[in-house]
Amino acid sequence: MLDFFGVHLEHEIPDHIVHCGTNLDGSISNCFNEWKVQNKTTARFLPIQGAHVLNIVTHQNYRKMGYGIRALQLLQEFYEGKCISLDESLESRCRLADGLEENSTESPILQQLTEIQPDNVEYILVSCNLSSETLRFWKKSNFTPVYIAEKKNPEGEHTLFMIKAVEETFRQRLEKYWFNFQSHYCLLLGSEFRTSKSVLALSIMQCGASFVKKDIKELSKAEIDLLIRPHQMRQLEKYCQNLQDFYAVIQLIPTLTALYFKNCLKGVSLPRTQEAILLSFGFQYKTADDVKNDLGLDISQIHGLLNRTIKKITNNLTEIIEKSVANTFENREVIMEPVAQSLDDELEEAAKKIQKQQEQDALLLKDLDIRQYAIKGSEEEWEKVLSHRKALVSIKSIKKIPNTMENPKHSEDSYKKPKHQKKRKR
């Protein structure tokens, strides 16, 4: 015998226990069908049935070889009705189901799975002490956490309940249980589980990866503005450019962490180390020294990885805002209409207008007397003057000098009043 299972069938689970077990406390034992006596009369029961794996034991010589995971797969196939022997007749199987097998005075201790009629089971449940090794085992078997006890049990560990859907109809209900558990666990990380290992918390957060939809709905600008104000976005951009101190944006890290782990950021994926650092600062509110002791990294390396993480998330949010602003502008469609005349006709018409304007300008120049602006001197005189290197050049001009300039004294006297001359005495 390689593996041994202890399985208990759960009937009529109370509604308040199924919905993340919000009324459970640390004194509850590992058996999921136990609840407080005073709640039995007021509890609202759900008509569901599941198989509770109480214990699983593997032969000590064959541990960590995959036999336990394979045994869980066979258990699920058994409850799905896949373990049917093709060698037996239909009549024999019916008689086995009704317990009417001939010559059977006592029930055997061990029976093959093909000799047992499986019960109608919607899920498989397991409760275990929370540790990295046990979580890794049940996570490989595709079990999903639905409840975690806040108080420690007598063994000094937190009890974790995990469920795996057998029927497809229960899978939709399990998806809701997972998202409720995820929201509740994110709050517990800042209080009861603040000192827990970030790697273990990250493994729990990633247990529901199968429920994450590939076509994630992108955030809108209105949703981003409700969470992060414009001046806070500017602070994040300055921090990403190393122009702002870390403590100026520390109050925004929980919001960015929630957006990432709740799969609200489309196209943003981070390495596991950066995810652990983001979870430590955003959900567990740890300091840089706490993260150093937890992950074994230098403080400068921690701040550098955190800056890369915030920069990647901020760039994604900035792109969404820029796209939204660009879409607000009206995209006016340019309508191309043919011109009234061809290009040759338009050029010919323009040439006629220019020619007409030139003719008018020529007529105006004929009426003007421009001889007064003529410069005296022949080409020989000009060459003779220009051949000498002088700063000033004087050329005789034939411009007429006004009368006022020819007789300056006369012009000045004309504005003076005549003086009375004294008569000379004879």
The pLDDT, as a whole number, for residue 72 is 83
Q: How far apart are CA 371 and CA 399, in angstroms?
A: 8
Decide: residue 19, CB within 10 A, 0-12 exposed, 13-18 middle, 19+ buried.
middle
Instruction: Determine what percent of the chain is predicted with pLDDT higher than 70.
Output: 74
pLDDT digits (tens, 9 = 90+) for 307-320: 999 999 999 999 99
Q: In Å, how far from its chain's centre is CA 85?
A: 51
Give me the chain's average pLDDT, please. 77
Q: For 127-154, what is the mean pLDDT?
A: 88
Is 80 exceeded by the pLDDT of residue 422?
no
pLDDT digits (tens, 9 = 90+) for 109-127: 777 777 777 778 888 888 8
Is 60 exceeded by the pLDDT of residue 96?
no
The pLDDT, as a whole number, for residue 315 is 94
Q: For 203-209, what is the mean pLDDT?
A: 87
Confidence of residue 45 (pLDDT cuts 50, 70, 90): very low
The pLDDT, as a whole number, for residue 249 is 92
Is 90 exceeded by the pLDDT of residue 327?
no
pLDDT digits (tens, 9 = 90+) for 230-275: 999 999 999 999 898 889 999 999 999 999 998 888 888 899 999 9
pLDDT digits (tens, 9 = 90+) for 274-298: 999 999 999 999 999 999 999 999 9
Beta bridge partners of 127: 161
Is 90 exceeded by the pLDDT of residue 301?
yes
pLDDT digits (tens, 9 = 90+) for 14-40: 555 544 443 444 333 433 444 443 444
Instruction: Determine what percent of the chain is predicted with pLDDT higher than 90.
Output: 24
Q: How far apart are CA 323 and CA 325, in angstroms?
A: 5
172-180 own/partner pairs: CB under 8 Å, 24+ apart:
174/123, 174/144, 174/146, 175/211, 177/18, 177/19, 177/20, 177/144, 177/146, 178/144, 178/145, 178/146, 178/207, 178/208, 178/211, 179/208, 179/211, 180/19, 180/20
Lookup: tokens for 229: 């104000």
The pLDDT, as a whole number, for residue 302 is 94
Give me the torsion for CA of 259, 265, 269, 275, rounded to 10°.
0
The pLDDT, as a whole number, for residue 25 is 41
Q: For 172-195, what is the mean pLDDT?
A: 89
The pLDDT, as a whole number, for residue 383 is 81
Is 80 exceeded by the pLDDT of residue 103?
no
Kindly write down the DSSP assignment for every residue of 82-98, as one continuous string.
Answer: ----SSS-HHHHHHHHH
